[in-house]
């Protein structure tokens, strides 16, 4: 059979393969591919090593490490002990509202473009591992019966480039949700050398206090705005004025028309200045917002139900109720497939998640996040 297959191949191809196999089986003291100069071989080997973070399966290892680790801990500790430890860590981190998950990376050769800056595609590729880690830390019980999250869209806004060799931090948090979509926000942060020195000297708290006091003064506020706009420049055109100046009259009495400004650029720059330098000294270089929906097979799970299942309810009674479902024989599979609709409070189940005791539902951060995403999608629908 093999001989018949080989006989059907072109003779030149067969001879080439034989020549390569002969070279590989030669004495190890003889050089491989002797027709390639040694300096070129060394350069190719160095290039191969420098791109090691992007070798095959490196992305898979970075992403799935967190999920495999969670399943291993659940198996080793037992589901009950694992959930107890996970819940304690979740409460300590502030729950769904205040949880911040971080991963540090270096803008290395394999991730940078010809401008020696972090490539746009690298923002998506590298943040996948962070989103997996954040989801495990925030929603681990939801995945017990086999639920998963499906990505619907991701929106990017770039404020400042991340140069080659720079160490940056990716920080994930929850941005809100509606009846179908759940929003995960990721900031890409650089820490200037000055901030690092201040932190090493124990001046981090002093800087935060000084920033708070300064914001109370109008004069100091203008200073912060100017310095922040320098720290976080737009990667597009030079600054545009927020309002068009009045037409100027020339010597012959005619008015000189002014160039129109970009409303989109104004919003971006206002956003960048508002974000500015963080209290910890970091500068936000990019913000991404990903829209996810929860799935059990082909069935869509409302985020409030997924969060209820993840023991994120402020009510201890609801937490115990959700824990019983997670610890049931099927792990809550039937509940997530639609069983929740049979609950007496199905219409309001999980609605209080994310609300502070002194907040009203209409003014909560969850609602503001939802309204923001509605505006984004409405604007994109014009195209």
Give the integer Cα–Cα distance in Å for 26 and 33. Answer: 11
Give the integer Cα–Cα distance in Å for 43 and 61. Answer: 27
Q: Convert the pLDDT of each residue in 312-332 to its tens digit.
A: 999 999 999 999 999 999 999
* Strand 283-296 relative to strand 167-177, pairing: unpaired
Q: Helices in 78-203 by DSSP H: which ranges?
A: 79-93, 95-98, 120-139, 193-200
Q: Convert the pLDDT of each residue in 169-182 to its tens digit.
A: 999 999 999 999 99
For residue 126, the model assigns a pLDDT of: 96
In this prediction, residue 378 has a pLDDT band, given cuts at 50, 70 and 90, of: very high
For residue 238, the model assigns a pLDDT of: 45
- Tell me which residue of 141, 145, 147, 133 sits closest to 87, measured CA to CA: 141
Tell me if the domain spanning 55-191+282-380 has CATH number 3.30.1740.10: no
For residue 279, the model assigns a pLDDT of: 84
| Helix 204-215 × helix 218-231 angle, to 10° | 120
Which phi and psi angles does 234 have, rounded to 5°?
-75, 150
Tokens of 299: 């069935």
Contact yes or no for 229/219 (Cβ under 8 A): no
In this prediction, residue 193 has a pLDDT band, given cuts at 50, 70 and 90, of: low
In this prediction, residue 38 has a pLDDT band, given cuts at 50, 70 and 90, of: confident
pLDDT value at 47 more than 50: yes
All structural domains of the chain with their residue ranges: 55-191+282-380
Tokens of 180: 């179908």
CA distances from 33 to 3, 6, 23, 213 (A): 28, 25, 8, 68
Per mean pLDDT, which range of 42-46, 139-143, 306-310 is the poorest?
Answer: 42-46
In this prediction, residue 194 has a pLDDT band, given cuts at 50, 70 and 90, of: very low
For residue 18, the model assigns a pLDDT of: 78
Span 147-153, average pLDDT: 95
> Cβ neighbours of residue 127 under 8 Å, at least 6 residues apart?
170, 172, 186, 288
Q: Convert the pLDDT of each residue in 102-149 to its tens digit.
A: 999 999 999 999 999 999 999 999 999 999 999 999 999 999 899 999
Tokens of 257: 């028309």
Q: Convert the pLDDT of each residue in 195-242 to its tens digit.
A: 444 445 445 444 444 444 334 333 333 433 443 344 444 454 444 444
For residue 315, the model assigns a pLDDT of: 92
User: Which region, left, alpha or beta, applies to residue 100 given φ > 0 means left and ψ of -120 to 50 means alpha?
Assistant: beta
Higher model confidence: residue 52 or residue 2? Answer: 52
């Amino acid at each position: 059979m093999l001989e018949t297959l080989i006989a059907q191949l072109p003779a030149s191809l067969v001879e080439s393969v034989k020549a390569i196999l002969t070279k590989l089986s030669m004495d190890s003291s003889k050089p491989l591919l002797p027709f390639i100069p040694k300096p070129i071989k060394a350069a190719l080997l160095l290039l191969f090593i420098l791109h090691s973070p992007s070798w095959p399966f490196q992305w898979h290892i970075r992403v799935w490490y967190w999920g495999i680790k969670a399943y291993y801990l659940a198996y080793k500790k037992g589901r009950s002990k694992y959930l107890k430890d996970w819940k304690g860590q979740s409460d300590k981190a502030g729950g769904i509202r205040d949880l911040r998950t971080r991963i540090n990376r270096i803008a290395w050769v394999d991730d940078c473009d010809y401008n020696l800056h972090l490539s746009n595609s690298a923002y998506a590729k590298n943040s996948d591992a962070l989103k997996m880690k954040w989801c495990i830390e925030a929603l681990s019980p939801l995945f017990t019966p086999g639920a998963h999250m499906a990505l619907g869209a991701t929106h990017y806004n770039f404020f400042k480039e991340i140069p080659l060799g720079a160490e940056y931090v990716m920080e994930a948090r929850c941005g809100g949700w509606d009846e179908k979509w759940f929003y995960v926000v990721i900031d890409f942060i650089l820490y200037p050398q000055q901030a690092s020195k201040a932190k090493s000297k124990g001046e981090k708290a002093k800087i935060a206090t000084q920033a708070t006091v300064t914001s109370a003064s109008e004069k100091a506020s203008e200073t912060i705005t100017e310095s922040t706009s320098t720290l976080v420049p737009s990667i597009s055109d030079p600054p545009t004025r927020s309002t068009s100046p009045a037409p100027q009259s020339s010597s012959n009495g005619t008015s000189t028309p002014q160039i129109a400004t970009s409303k989109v650029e104004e919003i971006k720059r206002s956003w960048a200045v508002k974000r500015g330098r963080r209290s910890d000294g970091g500068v936000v270089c990019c913000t991404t917002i990903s829209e996810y929906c929860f799935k059990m097979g082909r069935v869509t799970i409302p985020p409030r139900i997924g969060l209820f299942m993840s023991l994120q309810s402020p009510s201890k009674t609801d937490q115990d109720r959700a824990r019983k479902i997670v610890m049931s024989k099927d792990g809550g599979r039937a509940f997530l497939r639609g069983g929740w609709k049979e609950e007496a409070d199905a219409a309001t189940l999980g609605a209080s998640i994310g609300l502070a005791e002194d907040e009203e539902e209409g003014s909560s951060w969850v609602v503001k996040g939802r309204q923001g995403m509605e505006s984004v999608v409405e604007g994109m629908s014009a195209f």
